[in-house]
Amino acid sequence: MTVNIRRSDERGPADFGWLKSRHSFSFGSYYDPEHMGVSALRVINDDQVEPGTGFGSHSHRNMEIISYVKRGVIEHRDSMGNTQQLPPGEFQLMSAGTGITHSEYNASRTEPLEFLQIWIEPDVMDIEPGYQQKRFEPAPGLQLVASPGAANGSLKLHQDAKLYRALLAEDQRATLDVADTRSVYVHVVRGEITVNGISLQEGDGATATQTTRIELAGKDDSEALLFDLP
């Protein structure tokens, strides 16, 4: 088993005034050839958006784009006609396919917005663009959020990958069996957990390869995202 740790303060910084971000992998002006993503997982940006500001209309193609709000509410508009608000606890998945234009704003004039922006490379190109949004009621342990076949009510992901949310109380444990040919990436959203005995805190990430079991344990009330990747 190999586990590589990516500490929160090692992530690439960006500060545009209205937006402060930490990049787990190379993105925009931040480039690190040692951190270009893990398997099909290409981007995890931890974004903080000032009140009343946001990302103006811009385009994407051939990318699976997941947003998960930690604090605040996203105001979303796109070229498919979707006008939605994304609060904490809900996941948004856009399949950009042949092309989609969208904007993402902080819906509040007074409160900051904090959210994770995640990009996963698809395994099929130039599909019809799609939009999904769903609230997953909090459940202890591992909860499937996105998968290729939309299993168990999860969002449909156009890649041989699965995304789980892990909610762990102090001393609570969860395990996931994986093929030893797979890669697993864990990102801590809040709190502190251990991954196969290695301690991770908020903003930390870990890549595990050549293993058949991932063991998570909560050190306090904690939340993490786990990616099972090809």
Given a cut of 90, whether residue 215 has pLDDT beyond it is: yes
Average pLDDT over every residue of 62-67? 98
Q: Which two tokens stand for residue 18?
A: 């209205």
**What would the mean pLDDT of 30-42 be, rounded to a whole number?**
97
- Give the DSSP per-residue string, 35-103: -S-BTTEEEEEEEEE-TT-EEEEEEE-S-EEEEEEEES-EEEEETTS-EEEE-TTEEEEEE-TT-EEEE
Q: How many domains does the chain have?
A: 1
Which whole number is the average pLDDT over 149-172?
Answer: 97
> CATH code at 149?
2.60.120.10
Q: Give the whole-angstrom CA distance, residue 137 versus residue 74.
A: 19
Measured CA to CA, the distance from residue 191 to residue 202 in angstroms comes to: 6
Q: Provide the domain limits for residue 216.
A: 2-229
Position 1 scores a pLDDT of 80
Q: In the numeric block, which tokens belong to residue 114?
A: 């904090």
Is residue 220 pLDDT above 90, yes or no?
Answer: yes
State the chain's mean pLDDT as an integer.
Answer: 97
Write the DSSP assignment of 150-201 as a string of letters: -GGGPEE-SSS-EEEEEEE-TT-EEEEE--TT-EEEEEEEESEEEETTEEEE
Give the model's confidence band at 58: pLDDT under 50 very low, under 70 low, under 90 confident, else very high: very high
Nearest to 37 by CA among 102, 121, 145, 98: 121
106-153 per-position pLDDT tens digit: 999 999 999 999 999 999 999 999 999 999 999 999 999 999 999 999
Mark residue 153 as left, alpha or beta (left: phi above 0; alpha: psi -120 to 50; beta: remaining).
left
pLDDT confidence band for 192 (50 / 70 / 90) = very high
Confidence of residue 32 (pLDDT cuts 50, 70, 90): very high
Look up the pTM and report it.
0.97
| Res. 16: pLDDT tops 90 | yes
- CB 1, CB 23: distance < 8 Å: no
